[in-house]
Structure 1
Amino acid sequence: MIPILMYHQIADMPPKGTPYRGLCVPAKKFAQQMQWLKRLGYRGLSMQDLLPYLEGKKSGKVFGITFDDGYANVHDNALPVLQALGFTATTYFVAGHPGGHNHWDIEKGIPHSGLMNEQQIQNWAKAGQEIGSHTLDHVHLTQLPENEARRQIEASKYGLEAVFGVPVTAFCYPYGDESAAIREMTRQAGYTNATLTVKGLALKEDDLFGLPRVTVSGNIGLVAFLMKCLTQKEHKRRVKKEKQP
């Protein structure tokens, strides 16, 4: 079982009562989480680097690190920590909006937050971190006509590859919104893996285009965080949910 951590923003949490405030993990807390996993002998890996472990070709004390959406605060606050520890991570970029903001969240009352611009994305890649895709516009893929869903999946990959000159093989379904048809489109586009918002540890028998993750909230304590990552607790929760009718 391999934990794949799901983060969004690495920034101070907004005031209490703010919708989805847990999507912000304070920088000091993120650093503490990474440092403790390193002390315990674990190595944080991007999805590209994690793939051989997910496929059973390698074994070791590893975990995946992913960031959804591509926030600028991930560049500023998470990248230095990753570099200091020798970890790699994947950021899933909303490919059509470098330098933009989280426009898809505004109607929910989530505060405005800037996305990495092209230079910051380039810095991310030059530092050995992985560029992944989160579609062009952060859309609900199953709610789109087939041609548009395919365009969102394919054009985001090809556009990122053309601009930044690196292979883009990791995909994340916005909102966790996917289906068998969407997974097949993702395979056909040339990705090697895709992650969900479903909670749980990844198993060797999992579809590489339907990988669960461990949600990391800004209000989680260190002990609870380590228990989610390194014990059977998260796996048991996943099994219980899968058994529900």
Structure 2
Amino acid sequence: MPADTVSAGPLWAAMYHSVADPTDDPYRVTVSPDRLDRQLRWLRRRGLTGVSMDRLLGARAEGRGAGLVGLTFDDGYADFLEEAVPLLRRYAFTATVFVLPGRLGGTNEWDTPGPSKSLLTADGIRAAARAGMEIGSHGLRHTDLTKADDEVLAADTARSRELLRELLRDLTGRHEVAGYCYPYGTVDARAIKAVRAAGYAYACAIDPGPLTGVFALPRVHVGESDTGLRLNLKRRTHRWRREPVPAEEYAEYAARTRRTAQATQAAHTAHTERTVNDDTRAATTT
């Protein structure tokens, strides 16, 4: 079957959370591994490819977005590595997982009284990156930015990116952190300003209302109840929505990511050279 011409319509990104038993889930954010498998198969049978958000945006900026659908997983649950990654790799898909560097190895305490779920550790995040997944920030501790004061706002955006870049530093080509996901999906102009200032290239919301652009990307919730029939309906409905990113912003995104990639490569080279020089000096003094 020919690929769906996704680039001819508005950007389409799916929002997932946990991949586990959805029985005890008052917030309906958990999808079973079997259901996720069926949903990924649904994409594949329609000639669609699930990709990370950085790849989706980069492709659309170059006019190559046909057949690509963004896949995102919020909160960085440990089951992303255990359940989602093997399924994604089965279909040769990638995805973006938005993690919380202030809660590494912790639990989803913000979701009380829902079930306690384990979050990815630092090693788990690195393993996901090595598997080809994009790592993005979901803030430090899952704080609603629209209710945060200036100090918390700056720390949540800039500090979380800094911690993730350091965590991924030794993974060549994978330690840049381009994406941010607003906790609870809530966003306003003040939050967008902080995310831009922190150096991110894009940010995901859920329904950003009148806000548009790469720092207010809308996503479609996908859950356990989304069978092929419901996905077809969501896809048809989505075709009538507006394109969330103006054409000129795609060009700006491409230029910004090129500059960031060059700076990242230069920093990585300098870090490697310093390490080699330090090792050489240590060897000559022993």
What TM-score bracket applies, with the shorter chain setting the length?
0.7 to 0.9
Structure 1 residue 117 corresponds to structure 2 residue 110: no
Q: Say if 1:199 and 1:215, in contact at 8 Å, map to a contact too.
A: no
Structure 1 residue 39 corresponds to structure 2 residue 50: no
> What TM-score does the superposition give when structure 1 sets the normalisation length?
0.87
Please give the alpha-carbon distance, in whole angstroms, between the structure 2 residues aligned to 1:213 and 1:199: 9
Q: Say if 2:126 and 2:167, in contact at 8 Å, map to a contact too.
A: no
Counterpart residue number, 2:102? 96
Counterpart residue number, 2:214? 208
Structure 1 residue 157 corresponds to structure 2 residue 156: no
Structure 1 residue 11 corresponds to structure 2 residue 20: yes
Amino acid at match of 1:193: Y
Structure 1 residue 132 corresponds to structure 2 residue 136: yes
Per-residue deviation, residues 169-217 of structure 1 (Å, max 9, x unmatched)? 11000012221121011111111110112189xxxx9400001001012
**Residue ranges of structure 2 left out of the alignment (5+ in a row):** 1-9, 170-174, 243-286
Secondary structure at 1:154 match in 2: helix
Please give the alpha-carbon distance, in whole angstroms, between the structure 1 residues aligned to 2:37 and 2:87: 6
Secondary structure at 1:32 match in 2: helix
Partner of residue 152 from structure 2, selected from 148, 152, 165: 148
Amino acid at match of 2:87: V
Deviation at 1:53, TM superposition (A): 3.6
The Cα RMSD (Å) is 1.8
**Residue ranges of structure 1 left out of the alignment (5+ in a row):** 240-245
Deviation at 1:235, TM superposition (A): 4.9
Q: Say if 2:187 and 2:208, in contact at 8 Å, map to a contact too.
A: no
Please give the alpha-carbon distance, in whole angstroms, between the structure 2 residues aligned to 1:132 and 1:209: 13
> What TM-score does the superposition give when structure 2 sets the normalisation length?
0.75
Per-residue deviation, residues 71-96 of structure 1 (Å, max 9, x unmatched)? 01111111001111111100000111
Deviation at 1:54, TM superposition (A): 4.0
Q: Say if 2:186 and 2:208, in contact at 8 Å, map to a contact too.
A: no
Structure 1 residue 51 corresponds to structure 2 residue 57: yes
Distance 1:226 1:75, change over 3 A: farther
Counterpart residue number, 2:191? 182
Q: Which has the higher contact order (CA 8 A, sep 6+)?
A: 1
Structure 1 residue 72 corresponds to structure 2 residue 81: no
Please give the alpha-carbon distance, in whole angstroms, between the structure 1 residues aligned to 2:88 and 2:115: 26
Q: Say if 1:170 and 1:193, in contact at 8 Å, map to a contact too.
A: yes
Residue identity over aligned pairs, in percent, reads 34
Secondary structure at 2:103 match in 1: coil
Please give the alpha-carbon distance, in whole angstroms, between the structure 2 residues aligned to 1:199 and 1:234: 15
Please give the alpha-carbon distance, in whole angstroms, between the structure 2 residues aligned to 1:226 and 1:112: 32
Please give the alpha-carbon distance, in whole angstroms, between the structure 1 residues aligned to 2:122 and 2:152: 25
Counterpart residue number, 2:266? none
Per-residue deviation, residues 132-154 of structure 1 (Å, max 9, x unmatched)? 00000100112111121011100
Alignment length (residue pairs): 227
Counterpart residue number, 2:246? none
